[in-house]
């Protein structure tokens, strides 16, 4: 059994913003408090993060995650990566560098920006080993393994990575999918997909686009993530088709 948790489902600013701006969100509903996008996969002893958001420490503590073996990065934007430094205690615990996986551009940018995490320096020792992600790869620990598929998706000016595993697809930052990859997104149990806001946006799917993609791919359930402050939880819940639901921080399911 694989347990999947959406650790954070907020847009780059989270909700509320640091200025206490709640936009159209009902402040009284705790499900509208959203940290930045990250996710967690647990199968047997295998514990894998997708992205290290600026909120990763709180997310790990809130979800009682005790260990991290690997991190899969979707792309280099700050809301997906800037918690990377928080991985240090897992390095101490594992007594070996944590394997991270990213595409070529993202890996280079991470190595440039967080050089001390990869190479040490300034009193720090290396805590991370960078790996180039492959289209198909397997992560293992003891008798447990998970097979992953990754492919590039459009995210405004850049490409981000989609990850597909155990009939789950995670596309947290996306405004376009190449038709050639539709086949990898059929027969899913769960599609987790970017749904930034109501109005169109140059680098994210909006609500109508996320619903259209979901209807076309027809997974058993779609979970909308990367939600901005115009998308109130109850508003979404009331207006979405039955098999599409809004994420909330800590939402979890097993496959
Ligand atoms: Zn992004």
Domains and CATH numbers, the chain: 2-254 (3.60.15.10)
CA 93 to ligand 1 centroid distance, Å: 30
Q: Which residues of the chain have pLDDT under 50?
A: none
Distance between CA atoms of residues 66 and 75, nearest Å: 25
State the distance from the centre of ligand 1 to the C-alpha of 78, rounded, in angstroms.
Answer: 8
- Starting at the edge strand that comes first in sequence, how are the strands of the sheet with 221-225 ordered? 136-141, 144-155, 158-165, 168-171, 190-194, 221-225, 244-246
Q: How far is the CA of 156 from the centre of ligand 1 (A)?
A: 8
Distance CA 191, CA 172 (A): 10
Distance (angstroms) between ligand 1 centre and the Cα of 77 equals: 5
| Cβ-contact 196, 228 below 8 angstroms | yes
pLDDT at 195: 98
CA of 242 to the centre of ligand 1 (A): 28
10 Cα: distance to centroid of ligand 1 (angstroms): 12
Q: How far is the CA of 74 from the centre of ligand 1 (A)?
A: 8
Q: Is 240 left (phi over 0), alpha (psi -120 to 50) or beta?
A: beta
For residue 27, report the distance from its CA to the centre of ligand 1, in Å.
26
Residue 102 CA to ligand 1 centre (angstroms): 14
Q: Residue 144 C-alpha to ligand 1 middle, in angstroms?
A: 31
From ligand 1's centre to the CA of 123, what distance in Å? Answer: 31
Ligand 1 midpoint to CA 191 (Å): 18
**pLDDT of 227:** 98
Q: What is the pLDDT of residue 216?
A: 97
Looking at residue 244, its pLDDT comes to: 98
Give the Å distance between the CA of 72 and the centre of ligand 1.
14
What single-letter DSSP state applies at residue 74?
Answer: S
């Amino acid at each position: 059994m694989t347990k999947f948790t959406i650790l954070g489902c907020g847009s780059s600013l989270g909700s509320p913003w640091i200025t206490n701006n709640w936009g159209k969100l009902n402040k009284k509903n705790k499900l509208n408090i959203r940290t930045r996008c990250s996710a967690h996969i647990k199968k047997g002893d295998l514990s894998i993060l997708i992205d290290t958001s600026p909120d990763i420490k709180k997310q790990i503590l809130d979800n009682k995650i005790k260990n991290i073996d690997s991190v899969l990065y979707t792309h280099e934007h700050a809301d997906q990566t800037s918690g990377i430094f928080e991985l240090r205690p897992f390095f101490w615990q594992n007594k070996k560098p944590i394997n991270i996986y990213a595409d070529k551009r993202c890996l280079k940018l991470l190595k440039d920006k967080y050089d001390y995490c990869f190479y040490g320096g300034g009193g720090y020792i290396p805590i991370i080993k960078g790996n180039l992600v492959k289209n198909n790869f397997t992560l293992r620990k003891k008798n447990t393994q998970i097979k992953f598929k990754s492919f590039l998706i459009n995210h405004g000016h850049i490409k981000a990575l989609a990850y597909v595993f155990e009939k789950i697809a995670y596309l947290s930052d996306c405004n376009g999918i190449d038709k050639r990859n539709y086949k990898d997104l059929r027969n899913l149990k769960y599609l987790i997909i970017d749904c930034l806001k109501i109005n169109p946006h140059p680098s994210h799917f909006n609500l109508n686009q996320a619903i259209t993609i979901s209807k076309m791919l027809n997974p058993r359930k779609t979970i909308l993530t990367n939600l901005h402050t115009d998308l109130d939880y109850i508003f979404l819940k009331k207006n979405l088709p039955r098999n599409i639901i809004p994420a909330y921080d800590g939402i979890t399911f097993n496959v």
